[in-house]
Amino acid sequence: MKNLTSSYMGLTLRSPIIVSSSRLTSTVENLVEAEENGAGAVVLKSLFEEQIISSANSLSVSAGYPEADDYIDYYIKSHSVDEYIDLIVKAKKNLSIPVIPSINCFSSEGWIDFARKIAGSGADALEINVFFMPLDRKRSASDSEKVYFDLITKLKKAVNIPLAFKIGNRFSNILYMIDQFYIRGIKGVVMFNRFYEPDIDVEKLEIVPAPVFSTAEERRYVLRWIAMASAQDIKIDISASTGVKDGEDAIRYLLAGASTVQVCSVLYQKGLPYLNTLNREISDWMTKHNFNSISDFRGKLNWVNYSKPAVFERNQFMKHFASED
């Protein structure tokens, strides 16, 4: 096995593969199994802002993706904030790989003190998942972005562990937002979150959830922006998320410039032991291409390092086809 050691937010990982937040990371038993099968780090299931501010009963979520559909109903009924802290403590006691709790929030109010408890419990870092639907047509993009910046200011005053922001791809200027995160001291950015999306059942005339698990086809939405963001003069670590089905998908993200790769859907489908397969496939590819470490090829095909950077800038199919003979 090749040396798969990677760095993320100042943490040393034995592998770039991270198990992302889901019900798979909701028990110590699963976390231990993830470590035994080669995970570089684990992101614990998300604790939702509504739970932290003791209003879980008012939480209204449409089912349809692992972060909401798979465990939120169960979690609200049977868990408490104190038990989340207990999970962190037990995870740190039983694991040697980094343990990263996760908070899913929509504001910068009411829950910051809990972040202090997370830091005090021994967590290696904290992943913040911020998203709210822009339903007010009179609210500008800058007003929405300010929620992120206000939150960062409060968190930086409250904790001194590394912070990562898990973001969506719907900002008007993603590179600007990542730059602002970096300026404000954020160590990592996870690109990108998958949110609940509705679909329509034309026979039943009902709104239904879109497919739950990510697909390899979704990778194309992530690769471009990782390749662009990693090429900037921004010393912030990027963790790729969405569409990882095998080792080759992980390699693609690393070539684009990601520091680590988060996996979830494929582990639901194939089990935690599949982590071994992912690591082996990366190692075998490195051997084939004479790379001795992840750093030897990370970012090799990003916007700056690739010989034809214009491929990342194309927006229209016609621009591509017009260049073909």
pLDDT at residue 134 tops 80: no
Quick check: 324 pLDDT over 60? no
Dist CA 6 CA 12 (whole Å) = 6
Query: pTM of the prediction?
Result: 0.87
Span 76-94, pLDDT tens digits: 544 578 899 999 999 999 9
Looking at residue 207, its pLDDT comes to 85
Q: 6-321 — its CATH code?
A: 3.20.20.70
Residue 265's alpha-carbon distances to 65, 74, 180, 216, 287, in angstroms, are 10, 19, 30, 11, 27
Q: What is the pLDDT of residue 52?
A: 74
Instruction: Give me the sign of the Cα torsion angle 296, 297, 302, 305.
Output: positive
What is the Cα–Cα distance from 160 to 235, expressed in whole angstroms?
Answer: 18
Amino acid at 91: A
Is residue 158 within 8 Å of residue 117, measured between CB atoms?
no
Mean pLDDT value of segment 292-316: 85
Per the CB < 8 A criterion, the answer to whether 269 and 213 are in contact is yes
pLDDT, residue 216, reads 67
- How far apart are alpha carbons 83 and 255 in whole angstroms? 39
What span, in angstroms and rounded, lies between the C-alpha atoms of 286 and 292? 7
DSSP state for residue 20 in the 8-state scheme: P
Q: What amino acid is encoded at 102 in this protein?
A: S
pLDDT digits (tens, 9 = 90+) for 241-278: 999 999 999 999 999 999 999 999 999 999 999 999 99
In this prediction, what percent of the chain has a pLDDT beyond 90?
62
Q: What is the pLDDT of residues 164-220, one digit of tens each?
A: 999 988 888 999 999 999 999 999 999 998 766 788 889 988 988 777 666 667 777
pLDDT band (50, 70, 90) for residue 53: low
Q: Where are the domains of the chain?
A: 6-321
